[in-house]
Amino acid sequence: MSEYDLEVENLVRDFAAFRAVDHVNFKVEKGSFFSILGPSGCGKTTLLRMIAGFLEPNAGDIRIRNESVLGVPPNLRPVNLIFQHLSLFPMMDVKENISFGLKRRKIPQSTIDKQVDSILERVGLPEYGQKKINQLSGGQKQRVAIARALVLEPSILLLDEPLGALDLKLREQMKIELKKLQQQVGTTFVYITHDQSEALVMSDQVAVMDKGAFEQIDTPKNLYAHPKTGFVANFIGENNSFDATVSSSDPFRVKINSDMEFNARAMTGLSTGAECQLYIRPESIVINPLQNEPMNKFSVTVKNVLFDGANTKLLATIGDTGQEIMAALPQDKRFDHIQPGERLNVGVYDDACTCF
């Protein structure tokens, strides 16, 4: 008995000459929250639709609780999908929507009534059974959609960017609610999104997907701190990226122009003279570092302060080169004096400079 609810092996799907999903492998542990994160068009929806059964793969296998579901139509698979636009049935009320799946199973009406009441209670919408769908707010619709799927007790709940249509405040709130709900019901969630914050906040494991293939599967923290590829480094969180040349391999140093050299961390085998990309996170740049602190130090000219509350950024150019760099600007009054045109000393620790 494996502890995996979902196992995907070498899955391939082509649309004519275009390979949408390219040899994808992953396993999802029972009761965990697994996210697939990638830009639009990376093949994540195709992957999800194959798991749900709306598409058949060209090659590979999908196993749910150890049983291959290839060739099983969606209505017979033990998974349920929350659609991007929720797809609640507008001609039915909340209760009819939720009991739709149960009725297909020929369960007696009294049992259905009990189950609907209990799931409505669980998603925090008791007494909402008689409401029409168009009487609900965005967040309530979301919860009805989840209740409609969860009441069927699926092995896996698939979610296709269900928060995409909500406004920012509600999205933040639903993120936390979804996570809580998942922990409470213990159902395995497979969540796809292009919004990294959704994936990072809610997930136990995140798979970063690009051009049909998985770049890295890891915990949110590791993805952020130890990206394995340049794509992940760029896609997760914000990053400054520079074209660089390796000037020495031990100690590892890279040059981004004739007179700027950085001590850095090579993430892949890079030999002297090789071209690479240097990534520096905005929040790892220290403004006015201490004199004797061992770090890469350089001076920048402030171009602009991009105020955004806790996410305020400093846009500057390095030395006299005109290469732009973003730095986080903590809003703790220390740096309120910074004005465009000013010259600042900044520093960044060696292992915060990663090269691919």
Partner 1 sequence: MPYAGRLTLYFFLTPVLLWLFLLIVIPHIDLFVISMQVENDDGDMVWSLLNYQAFFEEKIYWMTFVRTALYAILTTLLTFIITFPVAFYITKVLSIKYSGFFTILLLVPFWVSELVRIYGWMILLRESGVFNHFLLQLGLIDVPIEMLYNDISMVMGLVYTSMLFMVVPLISSLEGLDDSLIEAAYDLGASKPVIFAKIVIPYILPGITSGSIVVFMLTLGNYLTPNLMGGKNSLWFTEQIYNEFIASFNWNQGAAFGFLLLVLSTFIIWLGLKLTRQNLSRALS
For partner 1, the closer CB: 136 or 274: 136
For partner 1, the closer CB: 46 or 239: 46
For partner 1, the closer CB: 91 or 310: 91
Q: How far is the CB of 103 from partner 1 (least distance, A)?
A: 9
Q: Scanning the structure block, which residue is given the tokens 């955004």?
A: 308
Spatial CB neighbours of 326, under 8 Å, sequence gap ≥ 6: 238, 240, 282, 313, 314, 315, 316
Q: Which residues pair with 298 in a beta bridge?
A: 346
Q: How far is the CB of 331 from partner 1 (least distance, A)?
A: 43
For partner 1, the closer CB: 85 or 334: 85
Q: How far is the CB of 356 from partner 1 (least distance, A)?
A: 39
Q: How far is the CB of 27 from partner 1 (least distance, A)?
A: 23
H runs (alpha helix) in the chain: 44-52, 94-104, 109-122, 138-150, 168-185, 196-202, 220-225, 230-235
For partner 1, the closer CB: 84 or 229: 84
Spatial CB neighbours of 206, under 8 Å, sequence gap ≥ 6: 34, 35, 36, 37, 199, 200, 217, 218, 219, 220, 223
Q: How far is the CB of 274 from partner 1 (least distance, A)?
A: 48
Q: How far is the CB of 315 from partner 1 (least distance, A)?
A: 42
Contact 37, 194 (CB under 8 A): yes
Q: Scanning the structure block, which residue is given the tokens 């293939």?
A: 213
Q: Which DSSP symbol is given to 356?
A: -
Q: Which DSSP symbol is given to 90?
A: T
Q: How far is the CB of 87 from partner 1 (least distance, A)?
A: 4
Question: Site residues (CB under 8 A) for partner 1?
Answer: 52-54, 73-76, 80-81, 83-85, 87-91, 100-101, 104-105, 148-149, 152
Distance CA 68, CA 62 (A): 6
For partner 1, the closer CB: 104 or 180: 104
Q: How far is the CB of 51 from partner 1 (least distance, A)?
A: 11
Contact 170, 177 (CB under 8 A): no
For partner 1, the closer CB: 73 or 124: 73
Distance CA 35, CA 218 (A): 10
Contact 98, 147 (CB under 8 A): yes
For partner 1, the closer CB: 100 or 335: 100
What amino acid is encoded at 121 in this protein?
Answer: E
153 torsion bin: left (phi>0), alpha (psi -120 to 50), beta (else): left
| Kind of pairing between the strands at 4-15 and 59-64 | antiparallel
